[in-house]
Amino acid sequence: MSEQSIEERLKSLQIELPTVSEPAAKYANCMIVNGLLFVSGKGPAGNPKGKLGIDYTTEDGYRFARLAGLEVLAVLKDTLGSLDRVKRAVKIQGFVNAGPDFEEHHKVLNGYSDLLFEVFGESKGNHARSVLGAVSLRNNLPVVVDSIFEVDATA
């Protein structure tokens, strides 16, 4: 029996990817170097504004990180033509716009990590990661993520 394609998995999970967002300044959405695809920082669709621990809860942050992850997946699909060309997630980094007493940055970034496991499975979705608290982020976004994937760059 053949393995389910990523497109089929997205449908079974009822996940729809957003339209690819344009970079917020003068840079590329992504770059491929030696089989690694580096995705620039992406925030959640809808451009919510505010800080975790002040304006939003940890649960809100989890949802925002997941939405930012969907933005990343949209860039991958647009760049590669198919998410099946992703060999594995390598590293994700999250930046959480948080109040000074907020301590659940790691729980926020789980929103993106969980998405990668759902979409790519355990072997391709497992990744290294870092999460940092930020005193501010562009446009006052609550979360921004950037990512590195190993991809089939030959197709």
Residue 82 lies in a domain: yes
Residue 20 lies in a domain: no
Proportion of the chain above pLDDT 70, given as a percent: 98
Residue 142 lies in a domain: yes
Residue 95 lies in a domain: yes
Name the burial class of residue 1, with classes exposed (0-12), middle (13-18) and buried (19+) by CB atoms within 10 angstroms of its CB: exposed
- The parent domain of residue 127 ranges over 37-151
Dist. CA 63–CA 28, nearest whole Å: 25
47: left (phi over 0), alpha (psi -120 to 50) or beta: left
When pLDDT is cut at 50, 70 and 90, the band that residue 155 belongs to is: low
Task: Give residue-wise pLDDT tens across range 23-81.
Answer: 888 999 999 999 999 999 999 999 899 999 999 999 999 999 999 999 999 999 999 99
pLDDT at 3: 72
Residue 122 lies in a domain: yes
Amino acid identity, position 60 = D
Residue 9 lies in a domain: no
Residue 29 lies in a domain: no
CATH number where 108 lies: 3.30.1330.40
Strands 143-151 and 30-33: unpaired
Residue 101 lies in a domain: yes
Q: How many domains does the chain divide into?
A: 1
